[in-house]
Amino acid sequence: MGPLYKFDWFDFACGLQLAVLIGFCFGFVLERAGFGNPRKLAAIFYLRDFTVLKVMFTAIVVCMLGLLYFSVFGWIDLGRVYLLPTYIWPQIVGGLILGVGFVMGGYCPTTSIVATVSGKLDGLIFIVGMLFGSFIFAEIFPFLESFYSAGDMGAVRVSDVLKLNSGIVALLICLMAVGAYWFVEKVEEKFGDKATLPGGSRRVKRSAAALLILLGLILAIVNPDRIAAERPSLQVQPQNKVEEIQKPALESKKPSSSDFKIVDDEGC
Protein backbone atom coordinates (compact mmCIF):
# COMPACT_ATOMS: atom_id res chain seq x y z
CA MET A 1 0.00 0.00 0.00
CA GLY A 2 2.93 2.31 0.70
CA PRO A 3 3.97 3.03 -2.92
CA LEU A 4 0.34 3.67 -3.90
CA TYR A 5 -0.03 6.12 -1.01
CA LYS A 6 2.99 8.07 -2.25
CA PHE A 7 1.27 8.64 -5.59
CA ASP A 8 -1.71 10.18 -3.77
CA TRP A 9 -4.13 7.41 -4.70
CA PHE A 10 -5.76 7.94 -1.30
CA ASP A 11 -5.31 10.23 1.70
CA PHE A 12 -3.93 9.41 5.15
CA ALA A 13 -7.31 8.66 6.75
CA CYS A 14 -8.24 6.28 3.94
CA GLY A 15 -4.81 4.65 4.30
CA LEU A 16 -5.49 3.89 7.95
CA GLN A 17 -8.88 2.43 7.10
CA LEU A 18 -7.37 0.23 4.39
CA ALA A 19 -4.64 -0.88 6.80
CA VAL A 20 -7.28 -1.99 9.35
CA LEU A 21 -9.24 -3.83 6.64
CA ILE A 22 -6.15 -5.58 5.27
CA GLY A 23 -5.04 -6.49 8.80
CA PHE A 24 -8.45 -7.97 9.58
CA CYS A 25 -8.49 -10.01 6.35
CA PHE A 26 -4.93 -11.20 6.97
CA GLY A 27 -5.76 -12.35 10.49
CA PHE A 28 -8.97 -14.02 9.32
CA VAL A 29 -7.13 -15.98 6.63
CA LEU A 30 -4.45 -17.05 9.11
CA GLU A 31 -7.08 -18.28 11.57
CA ARG A 32 -8.96 -20.20 8.87
CA ALA A 33 -5.66 -21.77 7.77
CA GLY A 34 -5.26 -23.13 11.30
CA PHE A 35 -2.58 -20.68 12.39
CA GLY A 36 -4.35 -20.02 15.68
CA ASN A 37 -3.61 -23.60 16.76
CA PRO A 38 -0.13 -24.03 18.32
CA ARG A 39 -0.14 -27.78 17.67
CA LYS A 40 -0.61 -27.24 13.94
CA LEU A 41 2.06 -24.54 13.88
CA ALA A 42 4.64 -26.60 15.75
CA ALA A 43 3.87 -29.74 13.71
CA ILE A 44 6.26 -28.52 11.00
CA PHE A 45 9.20 -29.14 13.36
CA TYR A 46 8.04 -32.75 13.83
CA LEU A 47 7.69 -33.30 10.05
CA ARG A 48 3.96 -34.01 10.40
CA ASP A 49 2.32 -30.95 8.85
CA PHE A 50 4.00 -28.35 6.61
CA THR A 51 1.07 -25.95 6.36
CA VAL A 52 3.24 -23.13 7.75
CA LEU A 53 5.82 -23.56 5.00
CA LYS A 54 3.18 -23.87 2.28
CA VAL A 55 1.24 -20.77 3.35
CA MET A 56 4.27 -18.56 3.94
CA PHE A 57 6.10 -19.67 0.80
CA THR A 58 2.93 -19.08 -1.22
CA ALA A 59 2.63 -15.58 0.26
CA ILE A 60 6.24 -14.82 -0.70
CA VAL A 61 5.78 -16.07 -4.26
CA VAL A 62 2.49 -14.22 -4.77
CA CYS A 63 3.99 -10.97 -3.45
CA MET A 64 7.11 -11.37 -5.61
CA LEU A 65 5.16 -12.10 -8.80
CA GLY A 66 2.63 -9.37 -8.06
CA LEU A 67 5.26 -6.67 -7.56
CA LEU A 68 7.27 -7.68 -10.63
CA TYR A 69 4.23 -7.87 -12.91
CA PHE A 70 2.95 -4.55 -11.55
CA SER A 71 6.37 -3.12 -12.37
CA VAL A 72 6.25 -4.54 -15.92
CA PHE A 73 2.79 -3.04 -16.48
CA GLY A 74 3.94 0.32 -15.11
CA TRP A 75 1.51 0.24 -12.19
CA ILE A 76 4.20 0.54 -9.53
CA ASP A 77 7.74 1.88 -9.24
CA LEU A 78 9.82 -0.69 -7.37
CA GLY A 79 12.40 2.01 -6.70
CA ARG A 80 9.89 3.54 -4.27
CA VAL A 81 9.32 0.32 -2.33
CA TYR A 82 11.16 0.47 0.97
CA LEU A 83 13.60 -2.38 1.62
CA LEU A 84 14.68 -3.24 5.13
CA PRO A 85 18.48 -3.14 5.47
CA THR A 86 20.24 -6.47 5.97
CA TYR A 87 22.38 -6.98 9.09
CA ILE A 88 23.42 -10.55 8.49
CA TRP A 89 24.76 -11.65 11.89
CA PRO A 90 22.11 -10.21 14.25
CA GLN A 91 19.39 -11.40 11.87
CA ILE A 92 20.78 -14.95 11.93
CA VAL A 93 20.87 -14.90 15.73
CA GLY A 94 17.39 -13.36 15.87
CA GLY A 95 16.06 -16.03 13.52
CA LEU A 96 17.48 -18.78 15.73
CA ILE A 97 15.94 -17.22 18.85
CA LEU A 98 12.60 -16.87 17.08
CA GLY A 99 12.77 -20.49 15.94
CA VAL A 100 13.47 -21.78 19.46
CA GLY A 101 10.60 -19.67 20.82
CA PHE A 102 8.37 -20.96 18.02
CA VAL A 103 9.04 -24.58 18.97
CA MET A 104 8.63 -23.95 22.71
CA GLY A 105 5.55 -21.73 22.57
CA GLY A 106 3.94 -22.87 19.35
CA TYR A 107 3.45 -19.30 18.11
CA CYS A 108 5.23 -16.55 16.24
CA PRO A 109 4.34 -12.88 16.95
CA THR A 110 1.53 -12.69 14.37
CA THR A 111 -0.05 -16.05 15.12
CA SER A 112 -0.04 -15.30 18.85
CA ILE A 113 -2.29 -12.32 18.13
CA VAL A 114 -4.56 -14.50 15.98
CA ALA A 115 -4.76 -17.04 18.82
CA THR A 116 -5.52 -14.34 21.39
CA VAL A 117 -8.34 -12.90 19.29
CA SER A 118 -9.65 -16.45 18.94
CA GLY A 119 -9.89 -16.67 22.73
CA LYS A 120 -6.77 -18.72 23.52
CA LEU A 121 -5.08 -17.84 26.82
CA ASP A 122 -1.68 -19.20 25.80
CA GLY A 123 -1.63 -16.74 22.90
CA LEU A 124 -2.14 -13.86 25.35
CA ILE A 125 0.66 -15.17 27.56
CA PHE A 126 2.90 -15.32 24.49
CA ILE A 127 2.14 -11.66 23.72
CA VAL A 128 2.95 -10.67 27.33
CA GLY A 129 6.24 -12.54 26.96
CA MET A 130 7.03 -10.63 23.75
CA LEU A 131 6.34 -7.30 25.44
CA PHE A 132 8.52 -8.26 28.40
CA GLY A 133 11.30 -9.42 26.07
CA SER A 134 11.09 -6.17 24.09
CA PHE A 135 11.43 -4.21 27.35
CA ILE A 136 14.51 -6.22 28.37
CA PHE A 137 16.04 -5.75 24.92
CA ALA A 138 15.49 -1.98 25.08
CA GLU A 139 17.15 -1.84 28.50
CA ILE A 140 20.27 -3.76 27.45
CA PHE A 141 20.45 -2.26 23.95
CA PRO A 142 23.51 -0.08 24.75
CA PHE A 143 25.47 -3.27 25.35
CA LEU A 144 24.20 -4.84 22.09
CA GLU A 145 24.39 -1.78 19.85
CA SER A 146 27.63 -2.77 18.11
CA PHE A 147 26.32 -6.28 17.39
CA TYR A 148 22.93 -4.89 16.36
CA SER A 149 24.45 -3.42 13.17
CA ALA A 150 27.07 -6.14 12.56
CA GLY A 151 27.34 -7.47 9.03
CA ASP A 152 25.63 -4.45 7.50
CA MET A 153 24.90 -5.22 3.83
CA GLY A 154 22.51 -2.33 3.25
CA ALA A 155 19.19 -2.70 1.44
CA VAL A 156 20.00 -5.61 -0.88
CA ARG A 157 17.85 -7.98 -2.90
CA VAL A 158 18.51 -11.58 -3.88
CA SER A 159 19.10 -10.41 -7.46
CA ASP A 160 21.82 -8.03 -6.22
CA VAL A 161 23.62 -10.81 -4.36
CA LEU A 162 23.38 -13.33 -7.22
CA LYS A 163 24.11 -10.69 -9.92
CA LEU A 164 21.06 -11.83 -11.87
CA ASN A 165 18.06 -9.89 -13.14
CA SER A 166 14.85 -10.05 -11.12
CA GLY A 167 13.04 -12.13 -13.75
CA ILE A 168 15.53 -15.00 -13.59
CA VAL A 169 15.48 -14.88 -9.78
CA ALA A 170 11.67 -15.04 -9.89
CA LEU A 171 11.81 -18.13 -12.12
CA LEU A 172 14.33 -19.81 -9.79
CA ILE A 173 12.17 -19.07 -6.74
CA CYS A 174 9.06 -20.42 -8.52
CA LEU A 175 10.95 -23.62 -9.32
CA MET A 176 12.16 -23.76 -5.72
CA ALA A 177 8.59 -23.36 -4.47
CA VAL A 178 7.26 -26.16 -6.67
CA GLY A 179 10.10 -28.43 -5.59
CA ALA A 180 9.54 -27.58 -1.92
CA TYR A 181 5.80 -28.26 -2.15
CA TRP A 182 6.43 -31.64 -3.78
CA PHE A 183 9.09 -32.62 -1.24
CA VAL A 184 7.16 -31.67 1.90
CA GLU A 185 4.08 -33.52 0.70
CA LYS A 186 6.21 -36.66 0.39
CA VAL A 187 7.45 -36.08 3.94
CA GLU A 188 3.88 -35.56 5.17
CA GLU A 189 2.80 -38.83 3.57
CA LYS A 190 5.49 -40.61 5.57
CA PHE A 191 5.26 -38.91 8.97
CA GLY A 192 1.92 -37.05 8.98
CA ASP A 193 -1.59 -38.03 9.94
CA LYS A 194 -3.51 -38.41 6.68
CA ALA A 195 -6.80 -37.91 8.52
CA THR A 196 -5.88 -34.32 9.49
CA LEU A 197 -3.84 -33.29 6.46
CA PRO A 198 -5.66 -31.24 3.79
CA GLY A 199 -6.50 -33.09 0.63
CA GLY A 200 -6.45 -31.85 -2.93
CA SER A 201 -6.71 -32.97 -6.51
CA ARG A 202 -3.41 -33.97 -8.11
CA ARG A 203 -4.63 -32.44 -11.35
CA VAL A 204 -5.25 -29.08 -9.68
CA LYS A 205 -1.85 -29.19 -8.00
CA ARG A 206 -0.08 -29.97 -11.26
CA SER A 207 -1.96 -27.19 -13.06
CA ALA A 208 -1.06 -24.71 -10.32
CA ALA A 209 2.60 -25.76 -10.46
CA ALA A 210 2.65 -25.36 -14.25
CA LEU A 211 1.03 -21.91 -14.02
CA LEU A 212 3.54 -20.83 -11.37
CA ILE A 213 6.50 -21.91 -13.50
CA LEU A 214 4.95 -20.22 -16.58
CA LEU A 215 4.57 -16.90 -14.74
CA GLY A 216 8.19 -17.09 -13.62
CA LEU A 217 9.37 -18.01 -17.12
CA ILE A 218 7.59 -15.01 -18.64
CA LEU A 219 9.35 -12.70 -16.18
CA ALA A 220 12.70 -14.29 -16.97
CA ILE A 221 12.12 -13.60 -20.67
CA VAL A 222 10.80 -10.03 -20.45
CA ASN A 223 13.37 -8.94 -17.78
CA PRO A 224 11.51 -6.49 -15.47
CA ASP A 225 14.76 -4.70 -14.59
CA ARG A 226 15.35 -3.71 -18.22
CA ILE A 227 11.78 -2.50 -18.64
CA ALA A 228 11.97 -0.45 -15.44
CA ALA A 229 15.29 1.10 -16.53
CA GLU A 230 13.86 2.13 -19.92
CA ARG A 231 10.68 3.63 -18.46
CA PRO A 232 10.75 7.25 -17.25
CA SER A 233 10.64 7.45 -13.47
CA LEU A 234 7.13 7.79 -12.09
CA GLN A 235 6.49 11.11 -10.41
CA VAL A 236 4.54 11.69 -7.25
CA GLN A 237 1.51 13.93 -7.66
CA PRO A 238 2.40 17.44 -6.44
CA GLN A 239 -0.81 17.96 -4.48
CA ASN A 240 -0.31 15.38 -1.75
CA LYS A 241 -2.92 15.88 0.93
CA VAL A 242 -0.53 15.05 3.73
CA GLU A 243 1.98 17.64 2.50
CA GLU A 244 -0.71 20.28 2.10
CA ILE A 245 -1.68 20.15 5.75
CA GLN A 246 1.95 20.52 6.82
CA LYS A 247 2.19 24.14 5.62
CA PRO A 248 2.95 26.43 8.58
CA ALA A 249 -0.15 27.99 10.00
CA LEU A 250 -0.28 31.69 10.71
CA GLU A 251 -1.89 31.11 14.07
CA SER A 252 -1.34 28.36 16.59
CA LYS A 253 -3.91 25.63 16.79
CA LYS A 254 -4.48 22.53 18.81
CA PRO A 255 -2.70 19.51 17.28
CA SER A 256 -4.98 16.99 15.66
CA SER A 257 -4.68 13.69 13.82
CA SER A 258 -4.59 15.59 10.51
CA ASP A 259 -1.19 17.08 11.48
CA PHE A 260 0.50 13.72 11.08
CA LYS A 261 3.69 13.83 9.03
CA ILE A 262 5.76 10.92 7.73
CA VAL A 263 9.40 11.49 8.70
CA ASP A 264 10.92 8.10 7.86
CA ASP A 265 9.13 5.84 5.42
CA GLU A 266 10.31 2.55 6.91
CA GLY A 267 6.84 1.09 7.21
CA CYS A 268 6.11 1.27 3.48
CA 221 to chain centre: 26
pLDDT digits (tens, 9 = 90+) for 137-175: 999 999 998 899 898 988 888 888 888 999 999 999 999
Give pLDDT, residue 250.
41
Place 247 in a pLDDT band, splitting at 50, 70 and 90.
very low
C-alpha torsion angle, residues 176, 219, 161, 63 (rounded to 10)? -70
| 199: exposed, middle or buried (Cβ count in 10 Å: 0-12, 13-18, 19+) | exposed
Q: Is the pLDDT of residue 245 over 50?
A: no
For residues 179 and 42, the model is more confident at: 179
pTM as predicted: 0.74
Q: Are strands 86-87 and 152-154 parallel, antiparallel or unpaired?
A: antiparallel
HSE toward the beta carbon, residue 32, CA cutoff 13 A: 6
User: Domain map of the chain by residue range?
Assistant: 39-72+157-230
